Amino acid sequence: MNKCIACGTCAEKCPRKVANEYNAALDKRKAIYVQYAQAVPLKYTIDAEHCIYFEKGKCKACEKFCPTGAIDFADQEKELSLKVGAVVIAPGANVYDPAVYDVYGYKRFANVVTSLEFERMLSATGPYGGHLLRPADGKEPEKIGWLQCVGSRDIHPGTNPYCSGVCCTYAIKEAIVAKEHLRNLAATVFYIDIRTHGKDFEKYYNRAKEMGVRFVRARIGKVRPADAKGNLRLCYTNEAGARIEEDFDLLVLSVGLQPAVRTKHLASTLDILLDQYGFVETPTFKPVSTSRGGIYICGTANGPKDIPDAVMEASAAACAASCSLAKVRGTLAREKPTVPLQEVSSEKPRIGVFVCNCGVNIGGVVRVPEVVDYAKNLPNVAYAEENLFSCSQDVQEAIRQVIIAERLNRIVVAACSPRTHEPLFRETLESAGLSKYLFEMANIRNQDSWVHQNDPDAATLKAKDLVRMAVAKAALLAPLEEQHFPITQTALVVGGGLAGMQAALSIADSGFAVHLVEKTAQLGGQANHIQWNWKGQDVQAFRTLLEEKIRQHPLINIHLGTEIDYVNGFVGNFRSTLRKTGSGRQAITVEHGVIVLATGARPYKPEEHLYGKHPHVFIWHELDELVVRQDPTVAEARCGVFIQCVGSRNQERPYCSRICCSYSLTAALKIKKINPRVNLYILYRDIRTYGLREDLYAKARSQGIMFIRYDSQNPPKVTVGEDGALEITVVDQVLRRLVKLQPDFINLASAIVPSAVDELARILKVAVNQEGFFQEAHVKLRPVDFATDGIFVCGLAHYPKDVDESLTQAMAAASRAVAVLAKKQWVSSGQVARIDETTCVGCQGCAQVCPYGAVEYVERERICQVNVALCKGCGSCAAACPSGSARLLGFERQQLHAQITAFMQA
């Protein structure tokens, strides 16, 4: 593994081709292969089951041609014994195989594919090189249909009764991407309920409709051939009750998730419990814990979930492990040895140029020896050589030795992408005693050999251009200074609801002090009004227990009736002024290294449906309180109605509030339990009991709770009759008839709306989205981080979510916060912006364009300054500055001009 540099020579020479499982067997791979293009680590592996040598005892072509001697046919499996304090398991899930219950002709009809196969068909690294083609004949499809809930929400043998949670959104994504590939493509999604419950997912659904994706509510019963050309015919009943037959070029089966095959064996080995479906069982209020202490779970192994939720859960599992190991943190850590850096600023540039051959990747197109000879004659170049694979461990050591022996003080590597390899080469420079900022890369792979793969002359000429430009810049490089800031190992958590309390407790259990700030006079937030979760478990008992732990924890300092008045500083070094909300406006100042925002949200108070005008029209906790005390309003009611999506999924709030469907079904089942004779109706647009919450929907139907779907353009109308009783009229979309109900009470599933956080967002310089929820740095890669380092978000402040999801995200935010607090110091990059105060005119153009709030205006001196701890080196300020006072270190104007001049000298 240490010798393999992923050149691909072994696979090129291997004579055996087998089905490529990564591309869903739609194409072939070699018996020695990289599983997928972005694999980490990027190493080749031998498929012993299909290798000719292991089959017949001969061949070894890969060993013969491997340039680094990385092939070892004598290698054996090794059993490792590790002593650990905690275990995190993430065995993932499998996708449903539609051949198990075959009603759609999968495997019988070539143009019926699964959604995973379709993903590979769309991919640039897929079987068709990113071109959307039909498997049967290689033609571009003109009409594609997506069939939802294949293997999910189904009770037939071999299928799964739960919702897989991800299928609706990924089908919408596939339809949008397919239309981007083929502009005139007709895309249709056949669905039962559209479940776009994630953050911004509803907007994505609306975007698909605007792009012309057609959505048809229908469950497809059968697929049959339409003709001899491979087209397929669907038979279905539309919402008007008409029988429709429609032909498609290609059908995509949106297959769901199910427990991975290995999960059952792993659970047996670890002695942990599985649920009825084979997912790992977790306690509701400990969402990443298993039935065995010290073993934690994350990802789809404990239930279907989308990528953002899986990533958050991974951080939460890390948090749980961190808490359990807090007392021994760092006891096994070793300091990396450092080499004193040479002072070379006053020396004449002696540039070393290392040109990577990289096998077929570069050397197969670019005439590398010619480029090396050219580099030797460039100004200030003292040494130039060709390396077969510059990124390999032995070549890195060789480069280090050359730097020392040849007294090189600037380095240029012409190879692949600096995005992936620059940190490696910079590390090599530091090991040789050179500043890592005395390094420049020329990308002669992505920008050259891959672009001009059919024109070696053009590729070689361009490689020379790129090397000449890199050398010109390298001659002007100077060592850059990194700033080291001590970290205040204390956290500030804003918001004392369930998420805030859980984040504070997790950070404190990890061994760090916490200031917990709550603007009201009590802890608990919205949890004070929640009686039970979607599993029917007692939220109030948990809230009380959590609050007791918070109040008794020696590292948690609680500030009730307090708001954030002012914050300055940066990651590791924040200073905040806290002010009492009552009389006197007493203020205190606290210093802390990180901030967790858990400011919560609240239910929308409807203006529609007679809320506030009739005593028997309720929302959320108002109904819960009646159920808890078994008030006659519900205990003796003959009829009750729940209206969904009140204030959600409209023009003003174009998002799904996520928890409303599960709540209404839970409340309805509670009412049914105390009053079995009551007739309950749920008026809905789409029932969104995602994941294992589908059990609620099934149970509600089995209990006789009735569901009436209404259209958003024709919502239910609530009136009061002559006798003062409530009346509802609604058009049933299934019956296509007007239905009139006379309920004893109505409950409105009103939207979850964010707290007013604009002022706090302004103080902290963090983003909120159009609806007022805090905006994370990246929905998948950094789902609890802000773009500003050291500030994190969790709970309803981020987006509506259930109790267990809020707790998970709180632990995830705590994990990210602890990762900062556990460090001794924060090191800024050397490639940051600087402003020349002698020429700055104070126009503040730099401050206006800085996306990270790193530029500050000094009123007294009428100049702008850069806070290097906040600066990310994007260069926006340098581009915007009219006086040239703002500059980006490592990308100075004279360095860029030198590159341009060198290019023009060709």
Could you report the per-residue pLDDT of 610-624, keeping only the tens digit for each? 999 999 999 999 999
Q: Is the dihedral of CA 563, 566, 569, 573 positive or negative?
A: negative
CB 132: neighbour CB atoms within 10 A? 20
Any idea of the CA torsion for 6, 9, 10, 13, to the nearest 10 degrees?
160
Residues in the chain: 906
pLDDT given for residue 809 in this prediction? 98
pLDDT given for residue 351 in this prediction? 97
> Hey, what are 503's tokens?
């984040």
> Hey, what are 92's tokens?
């993932």
pLDDT at 240 over 90: no
DSSP character for 446? I
> Residue 666, class by beta-carbon neighbours within 10 Å (0-12 exposed, 13-18 middle, 19+ buried)?
buried
Ramachandran sector of residue 165 (left: φ over 0; alpha: ψ -120 to 50; beta: rest): left
pLDDT given for residue 583 in this prediction? 58
- C-alpha distances (whole Å) from 50 to each of 15, 17, 39, 127 are 11, 9, 21, 20
Confidence category of residue 681, pLDDT binned at 50, 70, 90: very high
Beta-strand ranges (E) seen in 346-483 are 351-356, 381-387, 410-415, 439-443
pLDDT given for residue 1 in this prediction? 85
Residue type, 734: V
- C-alpha distances (whole Å) from 711 to each of 29, 717, 730 are 50, 12, 9
H or E segment to which residue 277 belongs? none
Q: Is the dihedral of CA 222, 228, 230, 231 positive or negative?
A: negative
pLDDT at 731 over 90: yes
The predicted model scores a pTM of 0.89
pLDDT given for residue 457 in this prediction? 96
pLDDT given for residue 584 in this prediction? 60
Beta-strand ranges (E) seen in 160-290 are 186-191, 214-217, 222-225, 232-237, 243-248, 250-255, 257-259
Q: Between β-strands 863-866 and 855-858, what pairing exists: parallel, antiparallel or unpaired?
A: antiparallel
pLDDT given for residue 795 in this prediction? 97
pLDDT given for residue 6 in this prediction? 81
Question: What is d(CA 649, CA 751) in angstroms, rounded to the nearest whole number?
Answer: 9
Question: What is d(CA 126, CA 139) in angstroms, rounded to the nearest whole number?
Answer: 16
According to DSSP, the residues that pair with 711 across neighbouring strands are 714
Q: What is the mean pLDDT of residues 527-538?
A: 93
Contact between residue 731 and residue 714 where contact means Cβ atoms under 8 Å apart: yes
pLDDT given for residue 676 in this prediction? 96
Could you report the per-residue pLDDT of 558-567, keeping only the tens digit for each? 999 999 999 9
Q: What is the mean pLDDT of residues 75-86?
A: 93
- C-alpha distances (whole Å) from 280 to each of 274, 304, 699, 892 are 4, 11, 22, 54
Mean pLDDT, the chain, whole residue set: 94
Q: What is the mean pLDDT of residues 379-384?
A: 96
Question: What is d(CA 373, CA 471) in angstroms, rounded to the nearest whole number?
Answer: 14
- C-alpha distances (whole Å) from 745 to each of 620, 630, 635, 639, 732 are 13, 14, 11, 7, 20
H or E segment to which residue 116 belongs? helix 115-122
Question: What is d(CA 716, CA 728) in angstroms, rounded to the nearest whole number?
Answer: 7
Q: Between β-strands 490-494 and 594-597, what pairing exists: parallel, antiparallel or unpaired?
A: parallel
Confidence category of residue 29, pLDDT binned at 50, 70, 90: very high
Residue closest to 590 by CA, chosen among 491, 499, 519, 487: 491
Could you report the per-residue pLDDT of 744-763, keeping only the tens digit for each? 999 999 999 999 999 999 99
pLDDT given for residue 631 in this prediction? 95
Could you report the per-residue pLDDT of 809-820, keeping only the tens digit for each? 999 999 999 999
> Hey, what are 431's tokens?
């090991």
Could you report the per-residue pLDDT of 315-358, keeping only the tens digit for each? 999 999 999 999 999 899 888 888 899 999 889 999 999 999 88
CB 277: neighbour CB atoms within 10 A? 15
Question: What is d(CA 655, CA 770) in angstroms, rounded to the nearest whole number?
Answer: 11
Residue closest to 509 by CA, chosen among 331, 326, 330: 326
According to DSSP, the residues that pair with 146 across neighbouring strands are 189, 252
Residue closest to 536 by CA, chosen among 688, 699, 677: 699
Backbone angles phi, psi at 53, to 5 degrees: -65, -45
> Hey, what are 38's tokens?
């972005």
Backbone angles phi, psi at 335, to 5 degrees: -75, 135
- Per-residue b/e over 724-761, b at no fewer than 16 CB within 10 Å? eebebebbebeeeeeeebebbbbbbbbbbbbbebeebb
Say if residue 225 is preceded by a cis peptide, omega within 30 of 0. no
Residue owning tokens 């709770």 = 705
Contact between residue 509 and residue 551 where contact means Cβ atoms under 8 Å apart: no
The lowest-confidence range among 187-191, 203-207, 305-309, 450-454 is 450-454
pLDDT at 770 over 70: yes
3-state secondary structure of 707: strand
Could you report the per-residue pLDDT of 442-479, keeping only the tens digit for each? 999 999 998 998 899 999 999 999 999 999 999 999 99
Beta-strand ranges (E) seen in 47-160 are 87-89, 93-95, 112-114, 143-150
pLDDT given for residue 180 in this prediction? 92
Question: What is d(CA 542, CA 796) in angstroms, rounded to the nearest whole number?
Answer: 18
Q: What is the mean pLDDT of residues 220-242?
A: 91
pLDDT given for residue 851 in this prediction? 87
Q: What is the mean pLDDT of residues 110-116?
A: 97
Confidence category of residue 41, pLDDT binned at 50, 70, 90: confident
Contact between residue 514 and residue 557 where contact means Cβ atoms under 8 Å apart: yes
Could you report the per-residue pLDDT of 842-899, keeping only the tens digit for each? 999 999 999 888 999 999 999 999 999 889 999 999 999 999 999 999 999 999 999 9
